[in-house]
Amino acid sequence: MLRRLPVVIAVLAAALLLVPAALAVRVHVRVEGKTRTIFGPAEPTLSVTANALDALEAASLAGEFYYHVTVTGFGPYVDQIGRYPAGASSGWVFKLNGVSPPVGADAVQLKAGDRVLWYWADFGPSGGPPTLELKRTARNCYRVLSQDDTGKTTTALGATLRAGGRSVHTRKGAACVGLHRGLVKATLAGAIRSNALA
């Protein structure tokens, strides 16, 4: 038995190493900065330990971008992503599946297939900015939706589609862009730029 001890220890150690990997979830992650997309325009799937803060860590690792967490009375708070630190009524917020959770990112447990969006937001008297979501309706045709913090979705009237260096103004939040190279994304003044689609 004693001779088998090193083998038993090795098996146990391997099992312990496998536990965190088994608990990880595969989720979509995107990070929208103040002036440009920082990570994952097309919302790639990443392996994330457990929560929305871990999703930012996974994206930072994959995209090699800086972020900083400070511990406050409420718990961990992301006070900087990329170049810009939070200040006054602006800073970094996140959404899970289009909804802004009313708790810190470490308290939001993820399940497979979830979509986590971190973004820079300027808060005014009417709250934070809506986020845009791009959907493909047919070949080269797209619809742009606008989501508020509760996840309520409306058509993003006046949104612009950016396709291969061209700008196409949408009629009633939808348009066909014709043949294009690269990804298409949507913008609208006062809203967070959309995910990108082929």
Q: Which residues bind ligand B12 (CB under 6 A)?
A: 72-79, 86-89, 91-94, 100-105, 121, 123
CB of 51 to ligand B12, least distance (A): 11
By beta-carbon proximity to ligand B12, the closer residue of 47 and 72 is: 72
3-state secondary structure of 168: strand
Amino acid residing at 71: V
By beta-carbon proximity to ligand B12, the closer residue of 2 and 88 is: 88
By beta-carbon proximity to ligand B12, the closer residue of 49 and 140 is: 49
Q: What angle do CA 180, 183, 187 make, to 5 degrees?
A: 105
In the beta sheet, which residues pair with residue 184? Answer: 163, 197
Question: What is the rounded CA–CA span in Å between residue 59 and residue 62?
Answer: 5
Question: What is the rounded CA–CA span in Å between residue 198 and residue 136?
Answer: 9
Question: What is the rounded CA–CA span in Å between residue 23 and residue 43?
Answer: 21
| Helix ranges restricted to H, 1-113 | 5-23, 52-63
CB of 188 to ligand B12, least distance (A): 20
By beta-carbon proximity to ligand B12, the closer residue of 74 and 178 is: 74
CB of 144 to ligand B12, least distance (A): 22
By beta-carbon proximity to ligand B12, the closer residue of 58 and 78 is: 78
Among 104, 120, 115, residue whose Cα is nearest residue 48: 115
CB of 55 to ligand B12, least distance (A): 12
CB of 80 to ligand B12, least distance (A): 9
Q: Which residues contact 26 (CB under 8 A, 6 or more apart)?
A: 45, 46, 47, 48, 112, 113
Q: Which residue is nearest to ligand B12 (CB)?
A: 91
By beta-carbon proximity to ligand B12, the closer residue of 74 and 167 is: 74
CB of 10 to ligand B12, least distance (A): 40
